[in-house]
Structure 1
Amino acid sequence: MSQDLIGAHLEQSLAALERASQDATLRATANEIAAAIVTALRSGNKLLIIGNGGSAADAQHIAAEIVGRYKQDRPGWAAIGLTTDTSALTSIANDYGFEQVFARQIEGLGLRGDVLLALSTSGRSPNILAALRSARKRGLVTIGFTGSKGQALGTLCDHLLVAPSDDTPVIQQIHLTIAHGICDEIEQTMMREASRK
């Protein structure tokens, strides 16, 4: 007799999202992250986003929501997924090692006042840790998204959002759901400010 694996995954995802929605600390952190990104964008700075695997796809997805639009027609804002330039990724990995694929891009693109959003379900990926160290040296605001076993990432982050799960796919789902909420908050806040001018 086959198990209903899809149903089990949906139930596990729903339970984790319910834990996240009821976690006042997580929600407060998400609002602080939105405010930090608004401050950067308002000042003409940019959002840089990194991650590996599924989190790399989420990085470029989030960047697209900021540059293009989330729900409203409005000006584009500066966001870059550092996961998309295959020439940069492969040349840096070849010349300096895979651990430096994001740190080196931050050296070239990151400016004081920019924001680095680092997605790492484990909180232990060497290339993510190297990038956060590079960002801190350059004066970027550092934000980490991780899972329940990745809290050590917090030592390198100004803001750390911890998804209440230790299952990689569920962590990624929570990250993207919260990122969508953050995009909505950013867009509405920036548009309200623009309408007052």
Structure 2
Amino acid sequence: MTVTRVNGHRAPVAPDDHCGRLLTALERFRQEEAATARRWGVRLAAVLGAGGRLLAAGNGGSAAQAQHLTAELVGRYREDRAPFSAIALHADTSSCTAIVNDYGAGQLFARQVRAHARPGDVLVLLSTSGRSDNLLRAAAAGRESGADVWALTGPAPNPLAEAGHDRLCVEAATTATVQELHLVAVHMMCAAFDAALGVAEGAP
């Protein structure tokens, strides 16, 4: 137990083992799930390289992760390359608020999936719990639209992992650590995506 001073008084402070939990979960991720992240990146390169589209969705911090992924594909990850079609479904605020107002929060992503997804596209759904109703409905809409549905979640089993065609489930004790490893997965996907397209680091 460490001790600090608050207003001149000694106060015990419990140690925060956040880094220790992260390192433990990261090693497990490296052994069990890293290959899936790389495989997804290679598959995305094939789909987007052939003119397909990525749709991504999540709530809260997972929305930020979804938008991070699409930004890396429309922009670039490390080296310059062509842009690719990738849409974060929460980012269109006018559509989102209209859908929630007219159809309810459960249809937030599903209605957009029905509008944008085409057979062969990829729908990535991010959730730390794997239990968000609006993502489960989006997964069903993705299947109906002929999209390939991937679930990036926290610990299995969970409903979203079962609802997708493929899954990457992070085993971690806290939501924060799950989100941190989701970002690792996103970056690994992007690296594999670029490698599959022949984009070499350091290329002009």
Which protein is richer in strand relative to its size? 2
The residue number in structure 1 matching 2:187 is 180
Bigger Cα displacement from structure 2, 37-46 vs 98-107: 37-46
Q: Is the 8 A contact 2:140 2:163 kept in 1?
A: yes
Q: TM-score, normalised by structure 1?
A: 0.91
Correspondence for 2:76 among 55, 69, 73:
69
The residue number in structure 2 matching 1:78 is 85
> Alpha-carbon deviation of 1:83?
1.3
The residue number in structure 1 matching 2:27 is 18
The residue number in structure 1 matching 2:15 is 4
Q: Is the 8 A contact 1:17 1:174 kept in 2?
A: yes
Q: Deviations over 1:143-183 (max 9, x none)?
A: 00011144332332111001011411111111110110110
SS of the aligned residue for 1:22 comes to helix
Task: Specify the code of the residue in structure 1 equivalent to 2:23.
Answer: L
SS of the aligned residue for 1:191 comes to coil
The residue number in structure 1 matching 2:46 is 39
Cα distance in 1 for residues equivalent to 2:46 and 2:146: 14
> Alpha-carbon deviation of 1:42?
1.7
Q: TM-score, normalised by structure 2?
A: 0.88
> Alpha-carbon deviation of 1:41?
0.6
Q: Is the 8 A contact 2:38 2:188 kept in 1?
A: no
Cα distance in 2 for residues equivalent to 1:180 and 1:28: 13
The residue number in structure 2 matching 1:27 is 34
Alignment RMSD (CA, Å): 1.5
The residue number in structure 2 matching 1:167 is 174
> Alpha-carbon deviation of 1:97?
0.5
SS of the aligned residue for 2:98 comes to helix
Q: Is the 8 A contact 2:56 2:88 kept in 1?
A: yes
Bigger Cα displacement from structure 2, 149-158 vs 109-118: 149-158
> Alpha-carbon deviation of 1:59?
0.7
Bigger Cα displacement from structure 2, 183-192 vs 127-136: 183-192
> Alpha-carbon deviation of 1:64?
0.4
Bigger Cα displacement from structure 2, 33-42 vs 69-78: 33-42
Task: Specify the code of the residue in structure 2 equivalent to 1:54.
Answer: G
Q: Which runs of 5+ in 1 are unaligned?
A: none
**Pairing 1:89–2:100 present:** no
> Alpha-carbon deviation of 1:15?
1.2
